[in-house]
Amino acid sequence: MHVTPLRRARRAGIVAAAAALPVAVAYRFALVYRVRAGYPKRHPPAYGPDAVGLPFDELLVPTPDGLRLPAWFIPAGPDPAPGVVLVHGWESSRDRTLPHAQVLHAIGMHVLTIDVRGHGANGPEALPMSVGEYAIDTRSAVAAMRARPDVTTIGILGHSMGAAGSLVAAAQDGDVGAVIAVGTPADPRRLTRQTFRLARLPLPGVVAWPLAWLTTRVYLKPRGHSVASISATNAVRAIRVPVMLVHGTDDGVVPVTDLARLEAARRTARPDAVTVSLRVEGGRHSWLYEFPGYRAAIGRFLAASLGGPLAPDDAARVAEAVPAVRLPDPERLVTLDEEPGGLRSLARIVRRREASMPTPMATTKTLATETAD
């Protein structure tokens, strides 16, 4: 049978359309993921520092792009002392950092804890958020600390997304004297891939990794971030000051293998820099401050790195004795602290039929029905 040029062109068009369809579906998935996962649900603080017996001042921390972040400054006392910026995780707020503030106050350090933009008492954001925004707001808090005459040296302690943001901020800010990163996702692409696993998407690696690559880049595009610029792994390679990396061995959100990646990157790039690693046996993603050994370790590290009124061993003993426990919160599920940014949103993508979903996502909607629990 003779194949005419027109018929040959039609066949080529069909083949091209078939090849393009998976890419179109993947891109549409990435756009929906960005909308659903990029905007945290805000939870205003339910407690103030007075709930745990700490003195405080209400502050507004200015950012380079004109925001004013609600914050608490918790003084260690009237004398000059080191200051530590506390940075909460995704869909959290500054009241979740109060147990850490108790520990730091006990060892004689000033504390500044902020609500990251789009979180806590802040208004909603117009664009999706990532580690990049955490880093900007962390640097703003460091600048606010630096402006205080009663602060001698500055450290940062961040959790989860806040930990990644803290590392990125420290890599950019020469005024930071030490960083503690707790439950840190090693890089954005791996975090996106992990949300696929946690949402139980039955994707083989040959599909999941390219999809995570595309989704991450689509997610970051509105703010103009690159994957490299907000990678905690890249940041630890650049930080010259002491870094402490902490992870719970039973972390079900950010795998403990991410700690190994950060350790390897840090020690390869900065073999002469101070790097302290701590695996908390039985620790999950959150609430590691409830482990006495963890409290002792951060007390010793900060006293050794930043100075202060207590020697490192004395700071460790005092920190270990602090009765730091999570605060009850009837308005929020504790599972908020056991999920990474966007996990619940991703679960909604794959488990619900979106009434307004355009036709190109039909494949994903079918997948959602088949994999729903």
pLDDT digits (tens, 9 = 90+) for 280-339: 999 999 999 999 999 999 999 999 999 989 999 999 999 999 999 999 875 554 434 454
Q: Of 324, 288, 332, give the one whose Cα is nearest residue 46.
A: 332
- Is the pLDDT confidence value at 147 over 80? yes
Half-sphere exposure of 247 (CA within 13 A, CB side): 22
CB atoms within 10 A of CB 83: 29
Residues 160/183, Cβ–Cβ less than 8 Å: yes
Neighbour count for residue 353 (Cβ, 10 Å): 11
pLDDT at 31 over 70: yes
Q: What digits encode the pLDDT tens for the residues 194-244?
A: 888 887 777 777 888 888 888 899 999 999 999 999 999 999 999 999 999
- Tokens coding 86: 């506390």
* Rounded Cα distance, 64 and 175, in Å: 17
What is the widest separation between alpha-carbon atoms in the chain? 94
Encode pLDDT of 231-280 as tens digits.
999 999 999 999 999 999 999 999 999 999 999 999 999 999 999 999 99
